[in-house]
């Protein structure tokens, strides 16, 4: 493990700014957020979660996929990717980006996403959970891959996990790193112990048991109850670091000669999401849309990728206008399963440990 001082971090960030487009954690109007960094002084390594994830830097809210000419029928694919660095991702967001990598490489690889991802350096950092975080219950509390460097803040600077050759190269190029002293590692370990005991939100079953529990929950009254208060605004989708649904639109220019095909984010909680020809909507009730979204997080995609697509970041809980809480809903479904007397043995074991 390597170590740099706070001055060393400033030198690293300053060097990266010279050669890359750099995005990092900042304070915007007093709130934690990601923004472009043009001076090392702007970077604020936040232990609290940002309201928006860093997903938009590798999967933009809107991007052009191709440009076409309606006069001659020609078209040209557009793949835009610049060298960039994202600084300040917490472990849960690193897990989320790894899931997105798997999604966009699955089946027919997505050239736009993969090109942008290949040019992105990831520098992670420590965090401290707030009242909504539950990454400990999902198994995303720590990241062992998916980053180039990972910074652990200590009393005198930063202990650093080097994750890739690219990470080692930028550390050598832009700053002076030394082997971390035993005292710095002890400091880091003490922080991790404090962090592990700070979680206020927990799931009452292990993540491995959730697909089966959700599979038995289709008729639960929970869905009608939360559907009756949901606004269907899509905020939970927009802040989620693993929601990747999109719509594709052809947009002609005003001269009706050229145009662009663009990709924009979409959200399964919006009423129009499941609208099909003839005006039919096979998921019109908001409760049905929420049931679909929650199953996407804990069941449907787990069946394909063998991992939950909720990383426990708590963003959807913080953002929901009517306080729908994905952890509380999941615990309600776990409790309902227990009442049916068919709860998984793994759940019993989990409850016995608490």
> Which DSSP letter does residue 181 get?
P
- Cα separations in angstroms, 314 against 49, 230, 261, 325: 9, 17, 33, 9
Q: Which is nearest to 314 in space by CA: 48, 3, 10?
A: 48
Listed in sequence order, the residues at least 6 apart from 230 whose beta carbon sits closer than 8 Å to its beta carbon are 269, 286, 287, 289, 290, 322, 324
Query: pLDDT at position 277, please?
Result: 92
Query: pLDDT at position 46, please?
Result: 85
Token pair in block for residue 93: 């967001």
Give the residue carrying structure tokens 């959730």: 210
Q: Which residues of 210-228 are buried (b: 16+ CB within 10 A; e: fewer)?
A: bbbbbeebeebebbeebbe
Beta strands in 83-240 (DSSP E): 84-89, 120-125, 149-153, 157-162, 178-179
* pLDDT (tens digit per residue) in 115-169: 999 999 999 999 999 999 999 999 999 999 999 999 999 989 999 999 999 999 9
- Residue numbers of the chain with a pLDDT score lower than 50: none
* pLDDT (tens digit per residue) in 293-337: 999 999 999 999 999 999 999 999 999 999 999 999 999 999 999
Query: pLDDT at position 245, please?
Result: 96
Query: pLDDT at position 131, please?
Result: 95
> Checking phi first, is residue 108 left (phi over 0); if not, alpha (psi -120 to 50) or beta?
beta
Helix (H) or strand (E) holding 33: strand 31-36
Q: What is the pTM (predicted TM-score) of this model?
A: 0.93
> Checking phi first, is residue 107 left (phi over 0); if not, alpha (psi -120 to 50) or beta?
left
Give φ, ψ of 220 to 5 degrees. Answer: -65, 140
> Which DSSP letter does residue 79 get?
-
The total number of residues shown for the chain amounts to 354
CA atoms lying within 13 Å on the CB side of residue 311: 25
Query: pLDDT at position 143, please?
Result: 96
Longest dimension (CA), the chain: 70
């Amino acid at each position: 493990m390597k170590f740099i001082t706070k001055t060393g971090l400033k030198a690293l960030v300053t060097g990266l700014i010279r050669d890359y487009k750099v995005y990092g954690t900042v304070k915007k109007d007093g709130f934690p957020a990601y923004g472009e960094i043009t001076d090392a002084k702007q970077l604020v390594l936040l232990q609290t979660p940002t309201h928006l994830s860093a997903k938009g830097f590798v999967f933009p809210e809107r991007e052009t996929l191709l440009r076409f000419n309606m006069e001659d029928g020609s078209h040209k694919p557009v793949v835009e990717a610049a060298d960039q660095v994202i600084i300040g991702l917490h472990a849960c967001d690193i897990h989320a980006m790894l899931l997105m990598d798997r999604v966009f490489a699955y089946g027919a690889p997505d050239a736009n996403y993969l090109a942008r991802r290949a040019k992105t350096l990831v520098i992670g950092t420590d965090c401290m959970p707030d009242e909504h975080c539950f990454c400990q219950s999902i198994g995303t509390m720590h990241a062992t891959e998916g980053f180039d460097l990972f910074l652990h803040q200590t009393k005198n600077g930063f202990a650093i996990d080097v994750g890739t050759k690219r990470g080692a190269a930028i550390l050598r190029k832009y700053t002076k790193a030394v082997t971390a002293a035993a005292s710095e590692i002890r400091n880091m370990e003490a922080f991790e112990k404090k962090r592990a005991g700070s979680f206020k939100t927990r799931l009452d079953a292990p993540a491995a048991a959730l697909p089966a529990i959700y599979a038995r929950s289709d008729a639960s009254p929970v869905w009608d109850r939360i559907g009756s208060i949901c606004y269907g605004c899509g905020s939970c989708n927009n802040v989620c670091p693993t929601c990747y649904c999109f719509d594709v639109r052809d947009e002609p220019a005003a001269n009706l000669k050229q145009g662009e095909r663009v990709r924009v984010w979409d959200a399964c909680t919006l009423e129009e999401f499941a609208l099909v020809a003839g005006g039919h909507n096979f998921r019109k009730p908001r409760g049905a849309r929420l049931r679909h979204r929650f199953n996407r997080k804990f069941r449907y995609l787990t069946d394909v990728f063998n991992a939950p697509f909720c990383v426990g970041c708590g963003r959807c809980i913080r953002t929901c206008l009517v306080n729908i809480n994905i952890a509380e809903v999941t615990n309600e479904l776990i409790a309902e399963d227990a009442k049916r007397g068919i709860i998984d043995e793994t759940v019993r074991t989990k409850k016995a440990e608490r």
